[in-house]
Structure 1
Amino acid sequence: AKDMKREVDLGHDPMGERQAQREAPTVQEMWERYSREHLPKKAERSQADERMMWEKIILPRFGKMKVAQITHDDVDALHRDITEIRGTPVRANRTVEVLRKAFNLAIRWKWRDDNPASGVRRNQEEKRNRYLNRTEIAALAQALNDHSQPTSANAIKLLMLTGARRGEVLGATWEMFDLENGVWTKPSAHTKQRKLHRVPLSGPAVQLLVEMKAAAMAKAEAEGTSPSPYVFPGPTGKPLTEIKRTWVSVCRRAGLGAEVPVLDAKGKPVLDRKGEPKTEFKPNVRIHDIRHSFASILVSAGASLPLIGQMLGHTQVQTTQRYAHLFDDPLRKAAETVGAFVLQTPAEQIINNENAEADNARS
């Protein structure tokens, strides 16, 4: 009572401050507002990914804490635990990025004055591009042909045939395709660069889509329903949002990966009922690597970097520049041709010139 009187004498309102503290928003409430106001602005796949981060990582750790109580050390410790215990340094970085955005919004909402996620030292990320070779592409294509789920398998086929982004393929509607002229027009709202992107389709891509559309029409007629506007509809009628299970399955069948131990949150092996360590198949290639492989095939076919950028929908030259090293082999072959000519003896040059003149005369 004396302490409270002293606070009042100093001009403070201890009862009001305690009431405000009790009513202060929690991280759970921050997530609820974030999910209502900010999350819907993102692509469906990004929404699902962030939702998983909140539900599996952030809320179990901070959910009951007040937004104003979270410190820089709290966020830094979470980042460190995800990195070291879960063994996922990139996921640790993404989690901090999500928290940083959420706390920026909390500042705008007047829930706190600073951002505890700012200044957290991120893990270094190595950009890795994996390119499928011809044998791997053939094995993957065969595995897709044999797969029991044609919708998700066909989605991966279209990724391979177009080099498009996963979200562009899964969210595609039939009205985007001019199958008669072999053109896919992606509206600006459908692309990462938020610009309309018109892409010519190859013969095999058109054939795949024609067969899929015919099958969809026949199915709808047999069921007495209207065909879905989506090229890859899910069970609920909305577009597919995830094809990871199919990807793992076809990679296993194609031999693109290996069995690895299943680890718990503390990094320890998970055991089955017999006490044996559980394993799971982990592909050694990502779905996004299909896009990189598409670019590498274009390079081998003689396409230029600007053309590759147009095909992939890049708006920044430096984005396409990552494929510049793929030109080393064709450039080296060209250089070898010049080198071989320069180092010829005069007699060899005369003979080659005479042969070239004879070829020109015959043509």
Structure 2
Amino acid sequence: MKQTLTTKSIDALKPAEGKRYEVRDIKTPGLQLRVSNTGAKIFCLSIRVEGQRRRIRIGPYPIVSLADARRRATEIARDIELGMFGHEQTQQDATAPTLSETISLFIDRYAKPNTKDWKGSRSILGKFASLGDTPIDMIRRKDVVAVLDGIVERGTPTRANRALAAFKKLMNWCIDRGDIETSPVASLRPPTREVARDRVLEGAEIAALWKAADAEGFPFAHFVHMLMLTGQRRGEVAAMRWSEIDLDDAIWTLPAQRSKNGRLHIVPLTDAMVAILKSLPRFIGSDFVFTTTGVTPISGFGRLKKRLDDALPEATEDWRFHDFRRTASTGMAKVGVLPHVIDAVTNHKSGIVSGVAATYNRYSYLEEKRDALARWGETVSTLVKSNDGKLATAQR
């Protein structure tokens, strides 16, 4: 778009819808005003230097006025014509990288090499897509707050907290690299006060979820059943490999690189778990136990939960897949399993067993863990078979 820029016309320019746009000034050749989707406006000069088209950043409006931008553009054009403009000043598009570009770099150069859940980081930073075309040094605190407010309004306040934490990490990484001098979200408090979740599924809910999962068929029915019986983390079960399983010795060895806490974990397999695994079809050339493609493990847990929700009684209180883990721990405690054995089953760092003892005890507790999971499996079986879904008196 080309027009004679005026202060009034610049103030009237609306934020970009999607990708940023440029307005070229008719009065000063090469002078452009770039407008982002947050409404930020930056003056640049598009000009040839030694035969190559360059874009030279002049500065943000209104800190740099229209008169200042025209004056500076004329000075740069004159210096280039006289050969007085230094090469260090001719960086193409010298504006800072956009947020989208910065997130891509952050994922490739920091998250992938240093974190296991880099895909999760990429996903949650995607919540800031509306700021994607904004230069990283032009993002304002209120821009971030607006995104967080939107997440809260959609009914997921804890996700807003996670989004802020991820954005803070990104900004701190940018500071370390020298991309920005200060973080726009420094000292910004999480938008929601979190309360530790203590949801434990009732007996009737366990039975209802088990039966609702039955209707899913392969692979989701088997995945949900294994998740309930093992008490392990959702991602660990979903990405289970055949190479990790020894059906003869009834053991699942979860390697340290796949474990959330970075420790190798031995999970004894009960008869019920072995029966589930033996019933599963295998994809030729694939190591994944739960897969629909043979190339990647299952996903779409949000859609799966919605389908299960639709099959449950309307009065069912909100639940999450992670509640299976807490429910299994509570259920094992109810039938007399000792706390340190429960920690060993769930690969949880509680401080009860730590240090060198923890390294060796993960093996020495193998039979205790097998017994604990067998007792929990019997409890689940009883609940599923019962008509009212309540624990028998002897199991309380």
TM-score scaled by length of structure 2: 0.62
Which of residues 272, 292, 300 is equivalent to 1:204?
A: 272
The 5 A counterparts of 1:205-220 are 205-212=273-280, 215-216=281-282
- The question of whether the paired residues in 2 share the 8 Å contact of 1:257 and 1:285 is answered with no
Is residue 307 of structure 1 aligned with residue 375 of structure 2?
A: no
Which of residues 189, 193, 196 is equivalent to 1:124?
A: 193
- 1:69-125 CA distance string (max 9 Å, x none): 223343334333433x33332111111111111112212222112222221111210
The 5 A counterparts of 1:113-152 are 113-122=181-190, 123-147=192-216, 149-152=217-220
Q: % of aligned pairs identical?
A: 27
- 1:254-283 CA distance string (max 9 Å, x none): 32667xxxxxxxxxxxxxxxxxxxxxxxx7
Match of 1:331 in 2: none
With CA pairs under 8 Å and 6+ residues apart, which has the higher RCO, 1 or 2? 1
Unpaired stretches in structure 2, ≥5 consecutive residues: 1-66, 77-84, 354-396
Match of 2:293 in 1: 235
Question: Counterpart of 1:232 in 2: which secondary structure?
Answer: coil
Match of 1:292 in 2: 326
- The question of whether the paired residues in 2 share the 8 Å contact of 1:4 and 1:14 is answered with no
The 5 A counterparts of 1:1-363 are 4=72, 22-41=94-113, 42-43=115-116, 47=119, 49-55=120-126, 57-60=127-130, 62-83=131-152, 85-122=153-190, 123-147=192-216, 149-212=217-280, 215-216=281-282, 226-235=284-293, 237-255=295-313, 284-317=318-351
Task: Report the Cα distance in structure 2 between the residues aligned to 1:203 and 1:289, rounded to whole angstroms.
Answer: 23
Task: Report the Cα distance in structure 1 between the residues aligned to 2:204 and 2:145, rounded to whole angstroms.
Answer: 44
Letter in 2 for 1:192: K
- 1:257-312 CA distance string (max 9 Å, x none): 67xxxxxxxxxxxxxxxxxxxxxxxx721011011111111011101111111000
- The question of whether the paired residues in 2 share the 8 Å contact of 1:176 and 1:185 is answered with yes
**Residues 257, 35 of structure 1: alpha-carbon distance in 2 compared, 3 angstrom cutoff:** farther
- The question of whether the paired residues in 2 share the 8 Å contact of 1:182 and 1:202 is answered with yes
Letter in 1 for 2:261: Q
Question: Counterpart of 1:198 in 2: which secondary structure?
Answer: strand
Letter in 2 for 1:96: L
Unpaired stretches in structure 1, ≥5 consecutive residues: 221-225, 259-282, 320-363
Letter in 2 for 1:53: I
Task: Report the Cα distance in structure 1 between the residues aligned to 2:311 and 2:220, rounded to whole angstroms.
Answer: 15
Equivalenced residues, count: 276
Give, in angstroms, the shift of residue 33 of structure 1. 1.0
**Residues 72, 91 of structure 1: alpha-carbon distance in 2 compared, 3 angstrom cutoff:** same
- The question of whether the paired residues in 1 share the 8 Å contact of 2:95 and 2:135 is answered with no
- The question of whether the paired residues in 2 share the 8 Å contact of 1:251 and 1:257 is answered with no
Match of 2:44 in 1: none
- 1:31-64 CA distance string (max 9 Å, x none): 22123223434445x61x4434333x3121x222
Task: Report the Cα distance in structure 2 between the residues aligned to 1:90 and 1:81, rounded to whole angstroms.
Answer: 12
Give, in angstroms, the shift of residue 157 of structure 1. 0.7
Give, in angstroms, the shift of residue 15 of structure 1. 12
- 1:146-196 CA distance string (max 9 Å, x none): 32x310221111000100101111111112112122211111001011010
Task: Report the Cα distance in structure 2 between the residues aligned to 1:79 and 1:22, rounded to whole angstroms.
Answer: 29
- The question of whether the paired residues in 1 share the 8 Å contact of 2:286 and 2:294 is answered with no
**Residues 20, 124 of structure 1: alpha-carbon distance in 2 compared, 3 angstrom cutoff:** farther
**Residues 244, 63 of structure 1: alpha-carbon distance in 2 compared, 3 angstrom cutoff:** closer
Higher strand share: 2
Task: Report the Cα distance in structure 1 between the residues aligned to 2:149 and 2:305, rounded to whole angstroms.
Answer: 30
Task: Report the Cα distance in structure 2 between the residues aligned to 1:177 and 1:15, rounded to whole angstroms.
Answer: 61
Letter in 2 for 1:137: I
- RMSD, matched Cα: 3.2
Task: Report the Cα distance in structure 2 between the residues aligned to 1:113 and 1:14, rounded to whole angstroms.
Answer: 25
**Residues 145, 73 of structure 1: alpha-carbon distance in 2 compared, 3 angstrom cutoff:** closer
TM-score scaled by length of structure 1: 0.67
- The question of whether the paired residues in 2 share the 8 Å contact of 1:256 and 1:284 is answered with no
Task: Report the Cα distance in structure 2 between the residues aligned to 1:244 and 1:318, rounded to whole angstroms.
Answer: 34
**Residues 152, 54 of structure 1: alpha-carbon distance in 2 compared, 3 angstrom cutoff:** same
Match of 1:261 in 2: none
Task: Report the Cα distance in structure 2 between the residues aligned to 1:121 and 1:14, rounded to whole angstroms.
Answer: 44
Question: Counterpart of 2:168 in 1: which secondary structure?
Answer: helix
Higher helix share: 1
